Structure 1
Amino acid sequence: MTALHHPDHARHKLGRRWGLPRWRLVSMVCMSAALQTSPPVLAQTPPPLRVLLPQSLSAPFILWRDNTPAEGLDLDLVRAVAEHLHSRAELQPMPRARVESALEQGEADLACNIVPSPRYETSLRWSAPLFDLNLMLVGHVSAAPVDALGQLASGTVLGTLQGHPYPPLEALFGDGRLKRDDALSEDRLLRKLALNRHPYGLLSRQVLSWHAGSESMSSLDQWRLPVGSQAYRCAVSPRSRIEPRLVLEALEQLQQRGRIEQLLTRHTKPALAVVVSTQSSVRRINRQQLSELYTGQRQQLEASTVTAPLMSAGPERLQFLQGVLQLSAGQYRSSWAAQQFGGRRSPPLELRDAESTKSHLQRNANAIGYLPLSLVDASLRVVYMP
């Protein structure tokens, strides 16, 4: 390389032209090279997903410890949504009555497990139904069991949740045939029922199953009356800091990938009901009586009538054995092996599926069996649920 074209010579000429010392010129050239080779600026991290948690909810949806949300299905769900969005969930407990207005005003981004109030059905962005909440009428042990809402006396008071709409019963509340007694939370509603502050209450099957065996359930009768289903949905603020479309798409993706079904399996019990015909004289039964009936230790639930238990195939069989009888399939077979010897007693009648069981129950008032709750209609009476 000739002296004329040497880089140092070129920089020396530029320095003389601009009136800069050589060290300043070298510094500028190095800085320019560094800027040209800098890595691209990374995309900005999404803001936290602000989630409102209605303080009216209880386990299995939200388990509170010292008034702080500790665990539950709802918490796992919103954290999964935040993770899908590469964000994190920022949890904000709030009274149920304020949740929808707070979302509308942009105080938070998301709330789940709320039934839309008419006023907010269009102002908020709602997810598609994620699963069903089975609404049940339950009663204190001193209250008369009923097979239909029409059997309740006019003006009967039902325990309800403050700020919670009940679409299947709104007409009955509206004309005064039924009256609401609002509680601030599901836990308080259960306590009021246990104290017989009102004879009946409305709670989801999922909540009742989670509390089964607890002190708050000891004064409640075993029968249940299904009064309809409410869709579990999430609401997104139109002023969400994360684009509402992305939040709704995250919920849809979680459902399509089976993540929500996994959460249901983890946090809730199967929707299984022990039922009889509405023509049966059996109004209620406890787990101990069921166990004795299905293992041959008892033949009657009432003094004058033999009760015929039924077993059916399908996934409900294992759910019933494990969740109600608390036996494995092998233990159940063993319990009948000795009794069948010599023809002393016969095990429960075996039917091929749930539909066959339902048909048999409808035709035989002395039979008792188990069904998925989805198959229970007005011809059947729920006498026990795990």
Structure 2
Amino acid sequence: MLAMTLRYSLLTMLFPTFVSATELRVLVLNGDSMPWAKLENHQLTAGLYFDLGHALAGQMGLQARFILLPRKRLVHALERGDADILCNYLPVWLPGAFDWSTSFIPNAELLISDKQAGKPASLNAFANVRIGTVLGYVYSELDQALGATFVRDDAPSMRNNLLKLAAGRVQHLVINQFELEYQQRQGRLTTPLHPYMVLRSFKGQCAVSRSGKITVKALNQAIAALQSHQVLQRIMGQYR
């Protein structure tokens, strides 16, 4: 037994990926909430990232392992090869030395307003109006349209922003369509709203570490296979 243990330790030292060669290490922001992530005891237990990670890993013959990190450590973890993929981002949101998968998670960035508040008639009319935003997120459309008159009211998460909206602490906020539909479907967003303003439509991608265990080509092949069998469509449909 001692000899086997020593041999195992030596292999681990010489080939650090030997033990987890069958894993797909999926990076997840530890501040995310449903529909993206359900966290229990510092573990990811449900949500779109949970289902998506298992589906992608299974298609590649791997097992998903989820790594939860704060926002400031995401880029570093990918660049170092401490994780393999991080999904549902765009290059403009997460610049760094890694590759990007095909675009495949349909979504839109929306500007919503409480119906009790007057809604500015155009995007330019939101100049110097407080808008609920999430700390650390980039809002390129609002930055370009409003410049220095874009007044952010940052919260740690979208969940906090929705609570602020319900309490009347903010009257306008930016939210993605995927999350808005989920919250309304769950009955968690009951605030009457004006018709929303679409800031932009997009499809989320996965950032792929250049020092990880898979290539962007292999991930794109897995995405295409899951799409052809309607697997990704069924996963996303559970949360919309």
Normalised by the length of structure 2, the TM-score is 0.80
The percentage of counterpart residues that share the same residue type is 25
Q: What is the rounded CA distance, in whole Å, between the counterparts of 1:177 and 1:81 in structure 2?
A: 42
Structure showing greater radius of gyration is 1
Q: Distance in 1 between matches of 2:64 and 2:185?
A: 33
Q: Give the Cα–Cα distance (whole angstroms) in 2 for the partners of residues 60 and 108 of structure 1.
A: 22
Conservation of the 8 A alpha-carbon contact between 1:115 and 1:165: no
Go from structure 1 to structure 2 and tell me whether the alpha carbon gap of 1:97 and 1:198 turns closer, same or farther (over 3 Å shift): farther
Evaluate the alpha carbon distance shift between residue 119 and residue 141 of structure 1 in structure 2; reply closer, same or farther with a 3 A threshold.
Answer: closer
**Within 1, Cα distance between the matches of 2:140 and 2:165?**
22
Residue 160 of structure 1 is matched in structure 2 by 133
Distance 2:67 2:227 in 1: 24
Structure 2: state its 5+ residue gaps. Answer: 1-18
Which aligned runs of 4 or more in structure 1 are off by greater than 6 angstroms? none
How many Å separate the matches in 2 of 1:160 and 1:98? 20
Q: Which has the higher contact order (CA 8 A, sep 6+)?
A: 2
SS in 2 for 1:193: helix
Match of residue 46 from structure 1: 21
Residues 100 and 216 in structure 2, CA contact (< 8 A), matched pair in contact too: no
Deviations 1:104-146 (A, max 9, x none): 121211111123237726x211111103212111123442124
Secondary structure, counterpart of 2:89 in structure 1: coil
The answer on whether the counterparts of 1:132 and 1:232 sit within 8 Å (CA) in structure 2 is yes
- Deviation, structure 1 residue 216: 5.0
| Residues matched between the structures, number | 222
TM-score, normalization by structure 1: 0.52
5+ unaligned residues in a row in structure 1: which ranges?
1-43, 269-386
Change beyond 3 A, Cα 1:78–1:119: closer
Distance 1:113 1:190 in 2: 21
Give 1:10-159 correspondences, 5 Å limit: 46-65=21-40, 68-117=43-92, 120=95, 123-152=97-126, 154-159=127-132
Aligned partners of 2:32, 2:120: CA distance in 1, in Å? Answer: 26
Match of 2:35, SS state, is: coil
Report the AA paired with residue 112 of structure 2.
Answer: V
**1:222 Cα deviation from its structure 2 partner:** 4.8
Superposed counterparts of 1:167-178, under 5 Å: 167-172=140-145, 175-178=147-150
- The amino acid that maps onto 1:51 is V
Structure 1 CA distance for aligned equivalents of residues 134 and 192 of structure 2: 18
Does residue 1:231 correspond to 2:203, yes or no? yes
